[in-house]
Structures are given as structure tokens and as C-alpha cells.
């Protein structure tokens, strides 16, 4: 009889742990957090020397913002600067940016909750229906 009680308690404990683990994974997944940068697709602008530049258009508290993401897939830490040309239905804009030292295998990204000044571009009253981006970057080992 005691063995049966022990087995039952072990099964109950295992079931609770499994449910807790599944719930934790669900809550921790990027897609489960509303408004997160990962919940929306990033579009590649350009790759320069193993560093990829991406963008997405977001509605941040009722304001249209162009968010940028920089991913360093190169084998070294890099730093540098860039000039982003933004062509819209409303005209052409240029946005200069500075890349602070970025470790190999890491990334920097703006979001509505963490708007990095060099990675978040306010786009008020801009027609983005025909958005085209191009980028020129100078990167150096940091």
C-alpha cells in the first residue's frame, strides 16, 4: 500500500513539474509577449562584412516608428557607422547611425519598450506604402 502512495505522489509531482515547465516556456517565448520586437518579422536591409542590418515598422503608442536591428555574425567585435537612405511615398530621408562596439554573435535592436536612440526612427505622417531602404556602412574591428 505504501509503495502505491509513493508512486502516486511521484506521478503528481512529475505532472506538476511538467505543467510548470510548459507554462514557463510558453511565457518566455518571444511570440507570447505582446509588442516585442521578436513578435514581428524583421526585414533584411543589407549585410556588410558579416553584420546584418534589419528593420520593421512598428506602432509604438500610436506613433509610427522604424525600428532597426543589427546582428553581428562575424568572428570579431565590430564598431562603426552607417547612413540609411529611406525612400517613402512622402519623399527621401537620410538617417546616420553609430554602431557601438558589438560582440561577435550578439545583436542590438530597438523596440517600443526599449527605443535605442540610434536604432529607432520616428516616422510621423509618413506614407510607408512604398518603403525602400538602402544602407552604406563602415565597420571596423573594435
Same domain, 28 and 46: no
**Tell me: the pLDDT tens digits for 79-105?**
999 999 999 888 899 999 999 999 999
Instruction: For residue 8, name the pLDDT band (cuts at 50, 70, 90).
Output: low
Count of domains observed in the chain: 2
Strands 78-88 and 132-141: antiparallel
DSSP readout, 23-91?
Answer: HHHHHHSGGGSTT-GGGS--EEEEEETTEEEEEEEEEETTEEEEEEEEEE-SSS-EEEEEEEEEEETTE
Same domain, 109 and 63: yes
Strands 91-102 and 132-141: unpaired
Same domain, 9 and 77: no
What gap in Å lies between CA 49 and CA 74, rounded to an integer?
A: 7
pLDDT of 127 strictly over 60: yes
Same domain, 114 and 45: yes
Give the domain extent around 3.
1-32
Same domain, 41 and 76: yes
Same domain, 57 and 6: no
Same domain, 45 and 90: yes
Same domain, 78 and 110: yes
- Which pLDDT score is estimated for 117? 84
Same domain, 72 and 128: yes
Same domain, 43 and 9: no
**Tell me: the pLDDT tens digits for 60-78?**
999 999 999 999 999 999 9
CB 35 within 8 A of CB 42: no
What gap in Å lies between CA 141 and CA 19, rounded to an integer?
A: 46
Same domain, 99 and 137: yes
Q: Give 50-53's long-range contacts (Cβ < 8 A, gap of 24+).
A: 50/74, 50/75, 51/78, 51/99, 51/102, 51/137, 51/139, 53/82, 53/84, 53/135, 53/137
Could you tell me the CATH number of the domain that includes residue 101? 2.60.40.1150
- Which pLDDT score is estimated for 37? 40
Same domain, 50 and 102: yes
Amino acid at each position: 500500500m505504501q509503495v502505491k502512495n509513493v508512486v502516486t505522489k511521484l506521478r503528481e509531482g512529475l505532472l506538476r513539474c511538467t505543467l510548470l515547465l510548459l507554462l514557463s516556456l510558453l511565457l518566455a517565448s518571444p511570440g507570447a509577449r505582446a509588442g516585442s520586437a521578436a513578435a514581428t518579422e524583421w526585414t533584411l536591409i543589407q549585410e556588410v562584412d558579416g553584420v546584418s542590418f534589419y528593420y520593421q515598422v512598428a506602432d509604438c503608442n500610436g506613433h509610427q516608428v522604424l525600428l532597426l536591428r543589427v546582428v553581428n555574425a562575424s568572428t570579431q567585435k565590430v564598431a562603426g557607422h552607417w547612413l540609411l537612405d529611406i525612400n517613402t511615398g512622402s519623399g527621401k530621408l537620410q538617417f546616420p547611425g553609430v554602431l557601438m562596439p558589438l560582440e561577435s554573435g550578439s545583436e542590438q535592436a530597438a523596440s517600443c519598450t526599449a527605443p535605442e536612440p540610434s536604432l529607432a526612427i520616428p516616422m510621423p505622417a509618413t506614407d510607408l506604402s512604398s518603403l525602400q531602404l538602402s544602407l552604406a556602412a563602415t565597420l571596423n574591428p573594435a
